[in-house]
Structure 1
Amino acid sequence: MSELRVDSGEIQLVVFKLGTEEYGVPITQVQEINRLITPTKIPQAPSFVEGIINLRGNIIPIIDLKKRFGLALEEYTANTRIIVVNVGKHTVGIIVDAVTEVLRLATVSIEPPPPMISSIAVDYLKGVGKVGERLLILLDLDKILTEREQAQLAGAL
């Protein structure tokens, strides 16, 4: 959790929804947020990889977070977004149901994730942030893809 801390004692998060749960990722890892465009399928990609898109000359893989985390799948809507993020040394797009806000969260409001906070494995989580009565699940983007999956995607591009 130490990488969440900054000098000011707070972090800025991009908040998004997957189903009914709210998640946050550090804004420092977010490059941009785009409307959903249909990715081009790539052969032999992991099942949670929807395909690739051309983003201003850069080919980036698109990951459906619901598939990655084994959550119930729903139709994409007008609110569905692709958040372009840095994962390790790679840039990937993650599909989310909706981006709701950018907010500042005091680091003292962040607790380690309890073993069963959501249907997502604790391995993918950095912690849980309390914002009033709301709980934000803080994702560890660097753990969304294993090194093997990162290499597999890099090889497919």
Structure 2
Amino acid sequence: MAATSSNDALQMVTFMLGREEYAVDVMEVREFVDMIPVTKLANAPGHVEGVIDLRGSVVPVISLRKQFGLPAVEDGTFTCIAVMDFGGELKGFVIDEVTDVIRVQRSTILPPLDVGGEPWVEGILNLENRLVVVMDLKHLA
């Protein structure tokens, strides 16, 4: 996320992965793509699904379910690929469902718990009695 003062508003995209809700900075989301065939890569790590051709760009696709050790499920109606742009480098992440675009104050993001030092966890949002994990996906790519 961009480094600015702690009271600045952020727009975040929330999404589901299993029964858990996550959020990422909307400024890093390039687009959401319906599930399309993924070309497998030999000897790729288990969480890497393969690559897709996105209008002439080859984009690696990562399964967050596999990355987090969640059970595999069939792609649902809302399953999609979140294509993220990390300084011009595109990465795709398979998610179960986009749920919302929200605006939050940076100061409302609670610091991550020290339970394992996961670098991709930026913090926790408490929204209307539900906890949302704020992610920095570039640490998972």
SS at match of 1:142: helix
Deviations 1:125-145 (A, max 9, x none): 000012221211011112113
Please name the residue that 2:138 is paired with: 142
Please name the residue that 1:86 is paired with: 85
- The answer as to whether partners of 1:85 and 1:91 remain within 8 angstroms in 2 is yes
In 2, the alpha carbon distance for the partners of 1:121 and 1:114 equals 8
| From 117, 125, 129, the counterpart of 1:133 | 129
- The answer as to whether partners of 2:15 and 2:95 remain within 8 angstroms in 1 is yes
Q: Superposition pairs for residues 52-67 of structure 1, below 5 Å? A: 52-67=51-66
In 1, the alpha carbon distance for the partners of 2:6 and 2:70 equals 35
Deviations 1:69-118 (A, max 9, x none): 222222211110100002465211100000111110111211111135xx
In 1, the alpha carbon distance for the partners of 2:6 and 2:25 equals 15
Distance 1:114 1:11, change over 3 A: same
- The answer as to whether partners of 1:4 and 1:107 remain within 8 angstroms in 2 is no
The runs of 5 or more residues in structure 1 that have no matched partner are 146-157
In 1, the alpha carbon distance for the partners of 2:5 and 2:80 equals 28
Distance 1:103 1:3, change over 3 A: same
The runs of 5 or more residues in structure 2 that have no matched partner are none
Identical columns (%): 35
In 1, the alpha carbon distance for the partners of 2:122 and 2:132 equals 11
The two structures have a TM-score, normalised by structure 1, of 0.81
**Displaced runs of 4+ in structure 1, greater than 3 A?**
2-8
Distance 1:56 1:89, change over 3 A: closer
- Following superposition, the deviation at residue 4 of structure 1 comes to 6.2
- Following superposition, the deviation at residue 34 of structure 1 comes to 1.2
- The answer as to whether partners of 2:22 and 2:135 remain within 8 angstroms in 1 is yes
